Structure 1
Amino acid sequence: TSSKRTLRTLFRPPALPPPVISEVSPSQKKLLAYHKGKEEQKIIHQILIDRALEVYYIDMDEREERDAAPPITKLPSTVRKYFFIKPVNILSFQAEYFFLKNCVQSNPMVPIQQQWLRSMLAMVPQSLMKGKDRELLTEDLLKEVVRDYEKSMQRCLLRRALVKPDIKELDKLEEEAPLPSLPLGLDFSSTWRNSYIKAKNQINSTLRILHPTMQTLLDFGHTAFFNFLVVDFSSCRLRGPIDCRSLKTDASLSCSKAEDKLTTTWYQRVLGLFSQPESLHGVKLDHLDSFYNCVAVLMSNQLKELLQRTTEVYVKLFDLEDRRRLPLFKMDLTLEENRMEFYPSLQELEEAILFVVECIGQTLQ
């Protein structure tokens, strides 16, 4: 039997090399340390939970002894299980939420573009950036902008990636203020071109001031009014002293002449413009009333601007800081019955000055 050839004799067991004991590589050390750190975190987490439960049970026992509540029936096991497990669930939710929050916040953020910072600096006047102190202040402000940008991007990413559990204790533990709510009513799901063209066409069809005839009417008013005044007393001081009656007469004549001039020139051009059929080109019959209302408002605004400008020029004559253009008025000093008075009186002088303003306001009415 010893001479029989068997598999054991044909294939002898291979001679294994002696075991080689090699040192642990640095990467393996990191993995082992990381694994050990995770195990330690689990142990610490479990210890914290056990301590919290222990404190909770002690506090509940003290409250029961202090309050000395009457004995109650024993609660079912399901209810007791709920009351004892709820604090554990809250603690685990908090730990998991903060762990996920740290994971999201540790992700790399897209840095702010340098072009944006250069655009911000381009909007600052160069006179405010000269000097060493200003340069340091500019650098600090740019750093603050970068920090605010990164913080806002981080918070927005956290809001989109992580759902915060509805636990009141989390609001007390978090230091950051809640994020502002997203704007409502903005829907960018569809393109804006069609709605923009539709709105533009509607504006062009209803906004009468865009009609070519209105542009011509504006040109007529600018040509007639840009250097025209209803009453011009700028050279009154050069003529010497003037009495109140002459002032009223000159104001009335000037207003009457200005009204006649505008009626024969500007108003006639307006009538000639709208007597042409081309002036109503593109205006529908049912829109004629609104079109002519727009014409009336435009003409009224032009006349109001003329009267307002004339009044401002007249009032500026009585500016005490510029005495070179102050009008001179004739006034007599009288003595009657041992009483000295001015003639005309100060009240009559005031009425004469205000009469010019009233006369300007009543022109073209």
Structure 2
Amino acid sequence: TSSKRTLRTLFRPAALPPPVISETSPSQKKLLAYRRDRKQQEIINQLLIDRALEVYYITMEETDERDAAPPITELHSTVRKYFFIKSCLLNYLFLKKCVQSNPMIPIQQQWLRSMLAMVPQSLMEGRERGQLTEELLKEIVKDYETSMQRCVLRRALIKPDIKELDKLEDEAPLPSLPLGLDFSSTWHDSYIKAKKRITSTLYILHPTMKTLLDFGYTAFFNFLVVDFSRCRLKGPIDCKSFKTDASLRCSKAEDKIMSTWYQRVFGLFTQSEALDGVKLDQFESFCNCVAVLLSNQLKELLQRTTEVFVKLFDPEDRSCLPIFKMDLTFDENRMEFYPSLQDLEEAILFVVDCIGQTLQNIQTVHALLTGGTATLDTELPAHTAQWAKSTLKKSIRINLEGPKEHFKGYVESYGWLVDGTAEERIKRFVAEQPSFDEYT
């Protein structure tokens, strides 16, 4: 039972006394760890090392005295300079070669496409233009890579100022690096003032100008005052009808422009919002800016129409060349074209004059609003008219080489029948009264 006693309860374990721990001081620990034989061995080793070093130093001194090198003779200053320059040249050329051997970032194809997009389409057409374009692009890529290498070289290395190096490098000097902006003084306040002043006086930034630009682009981007590109499909046309047709087309184009584009412009300025922010003393200047913008739009239209008309007579592309009706006549013992080649040239040049006389009586916005009579400056630029006429004369001369050769051959073959030569031969034959036997 639980009440019974066991041996474990009767005889408890005996308690042992705690161990005796004696504390040892540091000096006692050092004394206990001391070994005399070890100390003696360390002293002997140190003596051997000192003796070996002493013998080594004595031996080296004797060797130096016996094998002493002769004194070095100092080189002349000119020789030293030569070796110094040569060393600089070799080092620079080696480093330059290392820098140039590094790969360069190639020019982006988008840049090349952007360059081609800026070239007028008329210059991209014609024979061998594709090959010429490829050669120009290769030249651009080569110049770009050369320029990049030179710029990287200038940033990586400092070219020594040595005349001999200039002779070795036959390269044009690089342009100087652009200087940084000077931010030593505050600029923000002056910038804000200048911006406000520009906005108040530079009227081209006014919202109304943007609206006028949109009107002009919508009305003129694919519009021509006169277009003879389909004239060839209608067949031959005589010079008189050609001139009449040109006059009618220019008149109709002007009426269309006045009834559409000009009405939108006039309607815009009947609204008060068109003059928002324009003070009374700025009204005339603002209207002058509007007049210049409208004039430029109309001049561009006339100039583009002239260029398209001139292109119709391009000798290298005769797909749209108009066909003129011409007769070969005989009058007063003379054979000639009718109308004459001079009349044909005059009829073609008449179209240029007709284009230049179109849209010349358009009132300015200021005149419309104030009841004035001033008109826009829409005259075709003189250099454009001169270029058009000189180019047309040259093209007409080239295009008429075929008819002239045909006329010349016709006259040489049959001209003697009408210029009196045949009649003279007949009279001479009759006067001689030859017998039949002489011609058999």
**1:270 — aligned with what?**
265
Is 1:208 paired with 2:203?
yes
Percent identity over the alignment is: 58
Deviation at 1:308, TM superposition (A): 1.5
TM-score, structure 2 length as denominator?
0.46
Deviation at 1:239, TM superposition (A): 2.3
- For 2:157 and 2:230, the matched residues in 1 are separated by 71
Is 1:351 paired with 2:346?
yes
**2:239 — aligned with what?**
244
- Give secondary structure in 2 for the equivalent of 1:21: helix
Deviation at 1:152, TM superposition (A): 5.4
CA shift in 2, pair 1:154/1:364, >3 Å: closer
2:214 aligned partner, one-letter code = D
**1:121 — aligned with what?**
105
**1:21 — aligned with what?**
54
- Give secondary structure in 1 for the equivalent of 2:158: helix
TM-score, structure 1 length as denominator?
0.55
- For 1:153 and 1:313, the matched residues in 2 are separated by 53
**2:389 — aligned with what?**
none
**1:11 — aligned with what?**
none
- For 1:337 and 1:225, the matched residues in 2 are separated by 52
Is 1:305 paired with 2:300?
yes
Is 1:314 paired with 2:297?
no
Q: Which has the higher contact order (CA 8 A, sep 6+)?
A: 1
1:190 to 184, 191, 203: 184
Deviation at 1:283, TM superposition (A): 2.5
- Give secondary structure in 2 for the equivalent of 1:323: coil
- Give secondary structure in 1 for the equivalent of 2:329: strand
Deviation at 1:273, TM superposition (A): 0.9
Deviation at 1:223, TM superposition (A): 1.4
Deviation at 1:44, TM superposition (A): 2.9
2:346 aligned partner, one-letter code = E
- Give secondary structure in 2 for the equivalent of 1:329: coil
Q: CA RMSD for the aligned pairs?
A: 4.7
- For 1:257 and 1:180, the matched residues in 2 are separated by 58
1:155 aligned partner, one-letter code = I
Larger radius of gyration: 2
Structure 1: stretches of 5+ with no match in the other structure = 1-15, 25-35, 53-93, 126-137, 159-170
1:190 aligned partner, one-letter code = S
CA shift in 2, pair 1:181/1:326, >3 Å: closer
**1:73 — aligned with what?**
none
- For 1:315 and 1:228, the matched residues in 2 are separated by 16
- For 1:277 and 1:310, the matched residues in 2 are separated by 35
Output aligned runs, 1:217-296, within 5 Å: 217-296=212-291
CA shift in 2, pair 1:202/1:183, >3 Å: farther
- Give secondary structure in 1 for the equivalent of 2:336: strand
- Give secondary structure in 2 for the equivalent of 1:341: strand
2:229 aligned partner, one-letter code = S
- For 1:145 and 1:322, the matched residues in 2 are separated by 44
- Give secondary structure in 2 for the equivalent of 1:342: strand
Output aligned runs, 1:133-144, within 5 Å: none
Is 1:44 paired with 2:74?
yes
Deviation at 1:217, TM superposition (A): 0.3
**1:334 — aligned with what?**
329
1:271 aligned partner, one-letter code = F
CA shift in 2, pair 1:192/1:255, >3 Å: farther
- For 2:175 and 2:208, the matched residues in 1 are separated by 49
CA shift in 2, pair 1:263/1:23, >3 Å: farther
2:105 aligned partner, one-letter code = L
Deviation at 1:346, TM superposition (A): 1.1
- Give secondary structure in 2 for the equivalent of 1:228: coil
Which stretches of structure 1, 4 residues or longer, exceed 6 Å deviation after superposition? 179-185
Deviation at 1:180, TM superposition (A): 9.2
Structure 2: stretches of 5+ with no match in the other structure = 1-45, 58-67, 110-141, 167-172, 361-440
- Give secondary structure in 2 for the equivalent of 1:324: coil
- For 2:202 and 2:323, the matched residues in 1 are separated by 50
Deviation at 1:288, TM superposition (A): 2.6
CA shift in 2, pair 1:23/1:360, >3 Å: farther
2:285 aligned partner, one-letter code = S
CA shift in 2, pair 1:357/1:182, >3 Å: closer
Deviation at 1:151, TM superposition (A): 6.7
2:54 aligned partner, one-letter code = I
CA shift in 2, pair 1:122/1:23, >3 Å: farther
- The C-alpha deviation readout for 1:189-216, integer Å capped at 9, x for no partner, is 4278626555544443333222110110
CA shift in 2, pair 1:300/1:174, >3 Å: closer
- For 1:270 and 1:182, the matched residues in 2 are separated by 50
- For 1:353 and 1:346, the matched residues in 2 are separated by 11
- For 1:352 and 1:329, the matched residues in 2 are separated by 10
Deviation at 1:296, TM superposition (A): 0.9
- For 1:261 and 1:180, the matched residues in 2 are separated by 56
Deviation at 1:352, TM superposition (A): 0.9
- The C-alpha deviation readout for 1:209-255, integer Å capped at 9, x for no partner, is 22110110011111111222211222222222221111111111111
2:227 aligned partner, one-letter code = D
Output aligned runs, 1:156-167, within 5 Å: none
- The C-alpha deviation readout for 1:145-181, integer Å capped at 9, x for no partner, is 49x856755538x9xxxxxxxxxxxx8x87556x999
**1:161 — aligned with what?**
none
